[in-house]
């Protein structure tokens, strides 16, 4: 029996209880940090604008031909100009031969001689700009005049966050494994907090983009570290429910942010609101415990055993005596420096030890690629996440396209429905299994998106989103069902599960007793130990 398996069995006896409360809260806050992705809907909202040249006077006289069919000099001069603002969100025609005349048909500008709402942009096609601030007071769009020649710079605000998340995903894994889950949260928070504040205060767009890259990486470090810590300390039978339940804080944070956006319509203040989850998670660092699994895997078995004992005392769930041999063995696994000369001479140099570890890791990685079942999982799972993100973020980040009147209501409703969906997924997951939920959800999302498009126009983004949903419903069938099944501990376990994937017809149901201990505890632990001794 592996040490990790025994840790899971001890956690099953200990249960959740109050000792996991700080980890639950920290993970909930970490999920709320991802609000910075949805905040792009408000922070980069495009404001209706009107371009003009510096020579345009507030009051203009327009000469309009009275009869375009006759080549006469009859004309009508309009000297009274309507002061109602008019915004066409169009750039000036820079190819026109006249550089001082703005051709407008019965269109009026403000009649004030000095208009504080007009700004110089330095753009050839829009030298002077005026925004309609009836919906948003300011946004990244209006702050840095991302119009006309700069239109392509607006999506960078979201893309840099995504790019930081990609880079962070590559870095956070080894770093969190080296430092520990708890320290990973601390490092991500200490680096992410000043970066988030810098985004709200930076006066230059390139600096904002660079800081968004850092924010994306730090967010991934916090989220992954918290999620892994929670999964490694939660009893196995509760991991599925807890993993689904942890998505609810994100939906609720969308509702809260939509309400905040309704009252706070300046993008810098909205960015400061996004900093709050990062500020809240740092104090929780002082109350968190390290993962006992990580401690055991890094030669700190004594700390892992003491942590499990403290957890059982805190939860008032005594650990049975059958686990005493395992805890004693775990305490002896702590790495201690060699004391005898023979041990010192037998030690390898740091370079040799590092080279040996690198070779062992490369061999272990090659084992994954030699396993057909594991290769399918490694290829299909990232593809599924990619397709899910296309569907989810295409809907979340397009509030300004789906509704121009009330994006706040759209985002708030989206968050509320998402929280409800997470709650409904918990019983549905036990009843139907995960493959059916993922496949059915992808198929239905594709159908609904196509129905929405049929009422408007056949536009390519909608086809991409709907196609992602259909493809998602197909590729999920390549993965094995994991609902109510133990986690595989070896490549052979993965191969066996793939082989029995289609032959299993056992219906899914709730455990008969959610408060009972894991089936591989107590009596079975003794049986495993005895069989292990016989084999030895």
Stretch among 89-103, 164-178, 377-391, 506-520 having the lowest mean pLDDT? 506-520
Provide the pLDDT for residue 464.
65
Mean pLDDT of 435-451: 79
The model's pLDDT over 370-383, given as tens digits with 9 standing for 90+, comes to 777 788 888 888 88
Calpha distance 326→529 (Å, rounded)? 10
How far is C-alpha 191 from the chain's CA centre? 18
Alpha helices in 15-155 (DSSP H): 21-33, 35-38, 40-43, 140-143
Pair type for strands 118-120 and 49-52: unpaired
Does residue 184 surpass a pLDDT of 70? yes
Written as one string, the DSSP assignment of 349-382 is: PHHHHHHHHHHHHHHHHHHHHH-HHHHHHHHHHH
Residue 450 has pLDDT above 80, yes or no: no
This prediction has a pTM of: 0.71
pLDDT band at 35 (very low <50, low <70, confident <90, very high): confident
pLDDT band at 489 (very low <50, low <70, confident <90, very high): low
Percent of the chain clearing pLDDT 90 (strictly above): 14
Q: Which residue ranges form the domains of the chain, and what is each CATH number?
A: 1-34+155-335+509-536 (1.20.1250.20)
Dihedral sign from CA coordinates of 345, 346, 349, 350: negative
Q: How far does Cα 6 stand from its chain's mean position?
A: 32
Local confidence band at 531 (pLDDT 50, 70, 90 cut-offs): very low
- Judged by average pLDDT, the poorest of 132-136, 328-332, 395-399, 502-506 is 502-506
Cα 291 off chain centre by: 23
Cα 391 from Cα 447, distance rounded (Å):
12
Percent of all residues in the chain with a pLDDT value above 70, rounded to a whole number = 70
pLDDT value at position 194?
A: 94
Tell me what pLDDT residue 494 has.
Answer: 65
| C-beta separation of 168 from 218 below 8 A | yes
Pairwise CA distance, residues 244 & 485, whole Å = 16
What integer pLDDT is reported at residue 520 of this predicted model? 41
Contacts of 334 (CB under 8 A, 6+ apart): 299, 300, 301, 302, 303
CB 119 within 8 A of CB 25: no
**In angstroms, how far is CA 41 from the centroid of its own chain?**
15
Q: Please compute, for residue 39, the number of CA atoms within 13 A of its CA located in the half-sphere on the CB side.
A: 32
Mean pLDDT of 287-310: 87
pLDDT of residue 255: 92
CA distances from 40 to 274, 381, 397, 398, 517 (A): 11, 27, 7, 10, 45
- Whether residue 261 has pLDDT greater than 80: yes
- What integer best gives the mean pLDDT of the chain? 75
């Amino acid at each position: 029996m592996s040490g990790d398996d025994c840790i899971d069995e001890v956690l099953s006896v200990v249960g959740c209880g109050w000792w996991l409360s700080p980890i639950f809260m920290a993970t909930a806050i970490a999920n709320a940090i991802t609000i910075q992705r949805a905040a792009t809907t408000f922070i980069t909202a495009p404001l209706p604008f009107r371009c003009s040249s510096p020579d345009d006077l507030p009051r203009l006289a327009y000469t309009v031909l009275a009869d375009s069919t006759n080549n006469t000099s009859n004309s009508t001069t309009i000297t009274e100009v309507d002061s109602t603002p008019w915004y066409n969100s169009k750039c000036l025609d820079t190819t026109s031969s006249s550089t001082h005349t703005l051709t407008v048909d019965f269109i009026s500008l403000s009649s004030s001689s000095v208009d504080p709402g007009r700004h110089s942009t330095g753009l050839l096609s829009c030298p002077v700009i005026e925004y309609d601030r009836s919906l948003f007071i300011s946004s990244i769009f209006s702050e840095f005049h991302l119009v006309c020649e700069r239109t392509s710079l607006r999506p960078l605000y979201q893309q840099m966050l995504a790019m930081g998340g990609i880079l962070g995903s590559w870095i956070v894994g080894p770093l969190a494994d080296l430092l520990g889950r708890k320290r990973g949260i601390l490092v991500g928070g200490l680096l992410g907090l000043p970066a988030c504040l810098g985004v709200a205060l930076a006066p230059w767009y390139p600096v904002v983009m660079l800081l968004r890259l850092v924010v994306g990486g730090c967010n991934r470090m916090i989220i992954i570290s918290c999620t892994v810590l929670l999964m490694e300390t939660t009893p196995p039978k509760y991991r599925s429910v807890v993993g689904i339940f942890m998505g609810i804080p994100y939906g609720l944070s969308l509702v809260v942010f939509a309400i905040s956006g309704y009252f706070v319509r300046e993008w810098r203040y909205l960015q400061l609101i996004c900093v709050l989850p990062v500020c809240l998670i740092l104090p929780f660092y002082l109350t968190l415990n390290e993962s006992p699994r990580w401690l055991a895997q890094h030669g700190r078995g004594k700390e892992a055993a003491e942590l499990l004992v403290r957890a059982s005392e805190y939860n008032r769930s005594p650990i049975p005596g059958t686990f005493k041999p395992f805890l004693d063995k775990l305490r002896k696994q702590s790495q201690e420096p060699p004391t005898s000369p023979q041990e010192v001479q037998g030690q390898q140099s740091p370079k040799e030890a590092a080279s040996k570890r690198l070779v062992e890791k490369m061999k272990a990685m090659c084992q994954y690629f030699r396993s057909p079942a594991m290769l399918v999982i490694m290829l299909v799972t990232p593809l599924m996440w990619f397709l899910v993100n296309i569907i989810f973020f295409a809907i979340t980040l397009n509030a300004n396209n789906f509704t121009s009147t009330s994006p706040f209501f759209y985002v708030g409703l989206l968050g509320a429905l998402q929280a409800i969906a997470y709650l409904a997924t918990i019983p549905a997951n036990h009843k139907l299994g995960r493959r059916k939920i993922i496949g059915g959800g992808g198929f239905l999302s594709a159908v609904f998106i196509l129905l929405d498009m049929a009422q408007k126009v056949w536009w390519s983004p909608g086809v991409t989103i709907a196609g992602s949903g259909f493809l998602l419903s197909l590729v999920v069938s390549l993965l094995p069902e994991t609902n109510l099944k133990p986690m595989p501990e070896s490549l052979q376990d993965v191969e066996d599960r793939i082989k029995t994937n289609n032959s299993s017809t056992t219906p899914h149901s709730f455990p008969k007793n959610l408060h009972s201990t894991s089936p591989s505890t107590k009596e079975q632990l003794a049986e495993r130990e005895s069989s292990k001794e016989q084999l030895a």
